[in-house]
Chain A
């Protein structure tokens, strides 16, 4: 026997909100679009900030990098809150499984000494670097212009605390459930000569007034550091009998790949902007020229620790990667 399901057919009056049909034509919109595009107020602000009367509440002039239409940038991942937290719930759950697996089999304990040293001296201290990234994302979330951009920065900020917590949990695990390694890692972050250039770089980034400069500066350091610790050394780990390191590194390199998607899309949107494109490219070149030396110095410090622990060609890797970055952002020949 078959049941016939009868429902009333009612033609909708409209497919989505007016701002979206004006932009994209008469088609249904995604939840990402409805929850992101044109959400930030743009007009008729009532008062100027008491703490910065030279700007409007939301003001494109908080950055030298501009988009004629801020919504020419959209997040390729189409993250609004629900898919974002779902994705990160999976990340943290997967990380917890990995950690439990490693703990049950004493795999962290059995890491070769050089790798243990690397984790304790170079990897765990970077939870503070991540925490700096948290502040940079929050700053961009407040001062960026347009919800599609600020939303990405907001999630990136939250991701950074998340990453810091992943590293912290690894540290606690490495220390058998106590915080001894976290304590020594913090001392290293504060005083180890090889970590000071990176700490200095992050602190100086925090007081850059342009949110995009902070963001680009962080990305330069990320490209060197994530590239080194979670890609380059991951390969070394697999060859060098440190599978446990690789199991952990996969979560951070996976996050970094995911994060790059929107970061690269934003570079592309800045570059192709019909009105500001050329100025943006010039500004980006200037930013990279100004910031990359500090990022390089910071990452080289981490690489020196890595080479001391493992002799893994870390310094050479970072130098090569930095040259590639400099070339990628070099001013265009006219």
Chain B
């Protein structure tokens, strides 16, 4: 036998992945891959797709099993050692409640839709990359559930996350975002999730949550986060590879991709409004302000680093980005003020920021906090001092596209609420911003379908006509919602800590009851 040609890593990878594919001859390619033409993207050569990671299944299994072994060891020891008692404060968990209710179901949706790509992209390279990502996303959904499952045993707000994701008003913000992405075609999904979500905005979403966990004594979430992020770097690569691949395949793809970047930047940015208040208000021990995070992770890394790279292809920074930049001074304050007033109908709790917290906010936001937002908190404090708690009576109007209540202000004018509207087939639709209006006007047939929670409540589709009916339909339990101070969680927390400081006593009282 002649001396065999040994395969290099690259050849071996090709032999073990894309060479498994074959040219179909008993069915048409268009019948087998029916969804890659309607969006107008032109691909001439699928083999040009690069997979820098070159992971084969044996290596994937080995490393992923090792990562999960480490992660579950941390979860188990945290649970065994009652690690939850080491949190800075139980109110920290509001951030995690929002995460489980709002983000975990998105990871799950990503799992399912990357399977769609793993079936329907014509090229075996991207199909395999999508299949790996589909598996990873299932991992993330499940490890998040398992990480937060221990908190669910002792704290409120976690118990009905999946039921609530499909129903509760503020959760229609993340749900509609992802429903929008999975109902788009495969290429738009790659830009929406692979690129915009996993590359452009991922650090803004995950790093604050994970650093927040680390700063507030939440070791499991920090461990989970780092573990998930190691997969995320593969996903970021897929997203960047996807956009470059589309842009390089045909110049006609450039304007289509640009419009998707414009749309999905704004869609994702509006979703991150929930993260902004989490950073600035929900974390008892602060990590960094939204403004600082936005400047670092978006303005510096993306506008300064990524977009000059994409300029080579004729791609420009996203439309409406100037509004997002201008809004960084006011965003989190407006969002949290709204949540404060509506938290009687939420799966998390809110409170007036402490004196220290307000001092920190004033330092972080010297232009806006004391002038515009401190007076609101002073008023809310006065109500509390008189034995009350201010909740808004009624239901907010929601933006037809992002589904956030209409709480944002006019660009450059932080005291006037921004309202836009468009007539379509005789109906009026309202929007929170130029960005959302622009998105609607590109695809009105899509956005008129939106399941808007407030409309649904008015139509009687959410358990009944009264607030208690709706809250029961949400499966909210006492202590899930409303004010932090005096809530069952705080009471239980104080009792647990009183017990542990008074040496060994009888078992601590059961929370709540």
Q: Is B459 an interface residue (CB 8 A)?
A: no
Q: Tell whether A176 pairs with B134 under 8 Å between CB atoms, given A34-B149, A46-B451, A50-B183.
A: no
Residues 35-57 (chain B) with a chain A CB within 8 angstroms: 35, 38, 56-57
- In the complex, the answer to whether A204 meets B58 with C-beta atoms within 8 Å is no
CB distance from A120 to the nearest CB of B (A): 13
Partner of A131, one of B20, B56, B116: B20
Once bound together, how far apart are the Cα atoms of A80 and B142, in whole Å? 8
B residues in contact with A206, CB < 8 Å: 24, 27, 32
CB distance from B483 to the nearest CB of A (A): 19
**Can you offer 25 A-B residue contacts whose CB atoms are under 8 A?**
A7-B82, A9-B508, A10-B154, A11-B507, A13-B511, A44-B456, A46-B175, A50-B183, A57-B179, A82-B68, A88-B65, A89-B62, A89-B64, A89-B65, A92-B62, A93-B62, A141-B111, A141-B115, A151-B138, A154-B135, A154-B138, A172-B7, A172-B12, A176-B1, A203-B25
Interface residues in B, total, Cβ within 8 A? 101
Minimal Cβ-Cβ distance residue in A for B130: A138
Once bound together, how far apart are the Cα atoms of A95 and B56, in whole Å? 14
Once bound together, how far apart are the Cα atoms of A189 and B180, in whole Å? 40
Once bound together, how far apart are the Cα atoms of A222 and B124, in whole Å? 23
Q: Is B428 an interface residue (CB 8 A)?
A: no
- In the complex, the answer to whether B182 meets A57 with C-beta atoms within 8 Å is yes
Residues 183-218 (chain A) with a chain B CB within 8 angstroms: 186, 189-190, 199-200, 203-204, 206-207
CB distance from B216 to the nearest CB of A (A): 19
CB distance from B31 to the nearest CB of A (A): 5
Q: Is B496 an interface residue (CB 8 A)?
A: yes
A89-B65, A161-B131 are known; give 12 further A-B pairs, CB within 8 A. A8-B82, A10-B82, A10-B496, A10-B507, A14-B153, A46-B183, A46-B449, A46-B450, A51-B38, A81-B64, A92-B57, A177-B7
- In the complex, the answer to whether A158 meets B57 with C-beta atoms within 8 Å is yes
- In the complex, the answer to whether A186 meets B19 with C-beta atoms within 8 Å is yes
- In the complex, the answer to whether A138 meets B131 with C-beta atoms within 8 Å is yes
A residues in contact with B31, CB < 8 Å: 207
A residues in contact with B153, CB < 8 Å: 12-16
CB distance from B156 to the nearest CB of A (A): 8
Partner of B16, one of A7, A93, A165: A165
Residues 1-42 (chain B) with a chain A CB within 8 angstroms: 1, 4-7, 11-12, 15-17, 19-27, 31-32, 34-35, 38
Once bound together, how far apart are the Cα atoms of A178 and B56, in whole Å? 17
Q: Tell whether A34 pairs with B146 under 8 Å between CB atoms, given A8-B508, A41-B165, A178-B5.
A: yes
Q: Is B276 an interface residue (CB 8 A)?
A: no
Q: Is B388 an interface residue (CB 8 A)?
A: no
Once bound together, how far apart are the Cα atoms of A202 and B111, in whole Å? 25
Q: Is B223 an interface residue (CB 8 A)?
A: no
A residues in contact with B24, CB < 8 Å: 203, 206
B residues apposed to A, CB below 8 Å: 1, 4-7, 11-12, 15-17, 19-27, 31-32, 34-35, 38, 56-58, 60-62, 64-65, 68-69, 72, 81-82, 85, 105, 108-109, 111-113, 115-116, 118-119, 124, 127-128, 131, 134-135, 138-139, 141-143, 145-146, 149, 152-156, 158-163, 165-167, 172, 175-176, 179-180, 182-185, 446-447, 449-451, 456, 475, 496, 499-500, 504, 507-508, 510-512
- In the complex, the answer to whether A154 meets B111 with C-beta atoms within 8 Å is yes
Once bound together, how far apart are the Cα atoms of A46 and B508, in whole Å? 45
CB distance from B7 to the nearest CB of A (A): 6
